[in-house]
Chains A and B, each alone.
Chain A
Amino acid sequence: MIKKRINYGAILLGGFLLSSVSAAEKVDFEQEIAPILEEGCQFCHGEDAQESGFRLDGLAYLLKGGDSGFAAVVPGKPEQSYLLDAIRHADEAIAMPPYEDKLPQEQIDLIARWIAEGAIWPGQSVTIDSENSDHWSFQPVVRPEVPSSDKTRENPIDRFLAKKLAKEGLSFSPPADPRSLLRRVSIILTGLPPTSEELERFLKAYNQDAGAAYLAAIDRLLASPHFGERWAQHWLDVIRWAETNGSESNMYRKNAWIYRDYVVRAFNEDKPYDQFLFEQIAGDTVGQGDATGYLVAGPHVPVATVGREPSAQRQARADRMDEVLQTIGASALGLTISCARCHNHKFDPISIQDYYSMSAVFQDVEFGSRYPELAEDHPRSVRERELSQEIAGIHQQLKQWGPWQENWTGYRELHFPKTETRKIRISFEWKAVRLDEIEMFGPAEPERNFALASEGTQTVSPPEMTNYRAKLKEVNDGKYGTMAWVAKSLPGSKEKPWIEFSFPEPREIQRIRMSTNREDFLETDYLLGINNFNFGDYRVEVETLQGEWKQIAATKNFNLKNKTHPLRGKLQKELKGLIEEVGEAGVQPSFVGNFIAPVQTYVFGRGSPENPREEVFPKGLSELEGDLQLSSDAPGPQRRVAFAKWLIREEHPLTARVAANRLWHHVFGQGIVTTTSDFGAAGTEPTHPELLDWLAAELVGPTFEASRNEAQPWSMKHLIRLMVMSKAFRQSSSPTQRGLDKDADSALLWRFPPKRVEAEVIRDAILQAAGGLDRSLGGRSFRIHNVKKRYSQWEVVDNHGPETWRRMLYQERMRRVDDQMFTAFDFPDCGQVRAKRPISTTPLQALNLMNSPFVIEQANLIAERAKEFGGDKAQAVDQCFYRLLGRFPTDGERQAALELANEFDLSLVCRALINSNEFAFLP
Chain B
Amino acid sequence: MNHPENLSQQGRHLLNRRHFLGTAGLSTAGLALAGLLQADGLLAKEPLTAGGKTPIRPDIDPGNPYASRKAHFEVPAQQVLVIYCPGAVSHVDTFDYKPELFKYDEQKPPGIPAVTFEGPTGNIAKPFWKFKPRGETGKMVSGLLPHLAEQVDDFCFFHALTTETSAHPQGENFMNTGFTMEGFPSFGAWVTYALGTENQELPAFVAINDPRGLARSGKNNFGNGFLPAAFQGTDFTAKNPPNNLHRPASLSPRADRRTADLLERLNAQHLEQYPGDADLAGRIASYELAGRMQTSVPDVMDLSGETQATLEAYGVEGGSELRGHYARNCLLARRLLEKGVRVVQLFNGSDPSGGNGITNWDSHSDIAKTHAMQAEIMDQPTAALIADLKQRGMLDHTLVVWATEFGRMPFLQANGTGRDHNPDAFTCFLTGAGVKRGFSYGESDEFGFKSVADKTTVYDFNATLLHLMGLDHERLTYYHNGLERRLTNVHGHVVHDVLEKHAS
- Residues of A at the B interface (CB closer than 8 Å) are 5, 8, 10, 14, 47, 50, 53, 55, 58-61, 64, 123-135, 240, 246-248, 250, 299, 301, 305-309, 312, 319, 330, 335-336, 339, 344-347, 349, 351, 623, 670, 674-675, 677-678, 680-685, 733-735, 740, 745, 747, 754-756, 789-795, 815-818, 820-821, 823-826, 829-835, 838-848, 850-853, 856, 890, 892-893, 896-897, 899-900, 903-905, 908-909, 911-913, 915-918, 920-921
Contacts and interface: CB of A to CB of B under 8 A. Distances in A.
B226 A832 contact: yes
Contact of A838 (B118, B228, B280): B228
Interface centre among A126, A330, A834, A850 (most CB of B within 10 A): A850
B392 to A, nearest CB: 28
B2 interface: yes
B27 interface: yes
Contacts of A824: 229, 232
Contacts of A685: 12
B115 A309 contact: yes
Given A309-B116, A847-B245, A832 B27 contact: no
7 A-B pairs with the lowest CB-CB distances in the bound complex, closest first: A831-B183, A131-B22, A336-B482, A831-B182, A832-B183, A840-B228, A678-B482
A843 B31 contact: no
B110 interface: no
B19 A349 contact: yes
B226 A248 contact: no
B270 A308 contact: no
B318 interface: no
Interface stretch (B130-138, B148-156, B281-289, B462-470): B281-289
24 contacts: A123-B27, A307-B117, A307-B118, A309-B116, A319-B181, A339-B483, A347-B15, A670-B3, A680-B482, A754-B279, A755-B279, A789-B353, A816-B182, A823-B232, A831-B220, A833-B481, A838-B229, A839-B228, A842-B286, A845-B229, A856-B250, A900-B261, A912-B262, A916-B263
A389 to B, nearest CB: 43
Interface string B159-201: 0000001111110000000000111100000000000000000
Interface string B1-41: 11111000100111111111111110111010100100010
B481 A912 contact: no
Given A247-B170, A915-B287, A916-B270, A832 B17 contact: no
Contacts of B265: 892-893, 896
A761 to B, nearest CB: 15
B300 to A, nearest CB: 15
B225 A831 contact: yes
A871 B30 CA distance: 92
B227 interface: yes
A131 B20 contact: yes
A233 B36 CA distance: 48
Contacts of B286: 841-843, 845-846
Interface stretch (B210-218, B427-435, B438-446): B210-218
Interface centre among B231, B248, B276 (most CB of A within 10 A): B248
Contact of B219 (A248, A818, A847): A818
Interface string B244-277: 1111101110010011111101110111011111
B405 interface: no
Given A792-B353, A820-B243, A312 B165 contact: yes
Contacts of A125: 27, 29
A307 B171 CA distance: 13
B352 interface: yes
Nearest to B271: A917
B244 A851 contact: yes
Given A58-B31, A336-B481, A50 B228 contact: no
A58 to B, nearest CB: 6
B143 interface: no
Given A124-B27, A915-B287, A893 B245 contact: no
Contact of A299 (B181, B218, B247, B293): B181
Contacts of A680: 482
A439 B244 CA distance: 53
Given A60-B33, A336-B481, A745-B2, A844 B234 contact: yes
Interface string B465-498: 0000000000000011111100000000000000
A745 B12 contact: no
Given A791-B351, A840-B229, A912-B259, A128 B20 contact: yes
B109 interface: no
Interface residues of B, number: 119
B46 to A, nearest CB: 10
A831 B184 contact: yes
Contacts of A734: 273-274
A623 B19 contact: yes
A793 B213 contact: yes
Contacts of B270: 916-918
B22 A135 contact: no
Contacts of A820: 243-244
Given A124-B31, A734-B273, A791-B353, 16 more contacts: A50-B40, A123-B27, A130-B19, A312-B117, A346-B50, A791-B352, A815-B183, A816-B217, A816-B223, A830-B183, A842-B286, A845-B229, A847-B242, A847-B244, A916-B266, A920-B283
Interface of B: 1-5, 9, 12-25, 27-29, 31, 33, 36, 40, 42, 48, 50, 62-63, 65, 115-119, 165-170, 181-184, 203, 213-214, 216-220, 223, 225-232, 234-235, 242-248, 250-252, 255, 258-263, 265-267, 269-271, 273-277, 279-280, 282-287, 289-290, 293-294, 350-354, 421, 479-484
B65 A840 contact: yes
A844 B204 CA distance: 12
B452 to A, nearest CB: 13
A848 B50 CA distance: 39
B422 to A, nearest CB: 12
A851 B246 contact: yes
A908 B65 contact: no
Contacts of A852: 243-244
Contact of B24 (A128, A735, A829, A842): A128
B219 A344 contact: no
A838 B259 contact: no
Contacts of A682: 9, 13, 48, 482-484
Contacts of B28: 123
A467 B285 CA distance: 67
B31 A59 contact: yes
Interface centre among B170, B182, B230 (most CB of A within 10 A): B182
A830 B262 CA distance: 36
A655 to B, nearest CB: 17
Contacts of A349: 19-20
A898 to B, nearest CB: 10
Contacts of B350: 793
Given A680-B482, A851-B246, A308 B116 contact: yes
Contacts of A840: 1, 65, 228-231
A247 B27 contact: no
Nearest to A13: B27
B23 A127 contact: no
Contact of B279 (A299, A623, A756, A911): A756
A344 B31 contact: no
A759 to B, nearest CB: 10
Given A754-B277, A844-B234, A853 B220 contact: no
B171 to A, nearest CB: 10
Contacts of A835: 481
A635 B223 CA distance: 41
Contacts of B246: 851
Contacts of A123: 27-29
B36 A58 contact: yes
A751 to B, nearest CB: 10
A847 B290 contact: yes
A592 B278 CA distance: 43
Contacts of A134: 16
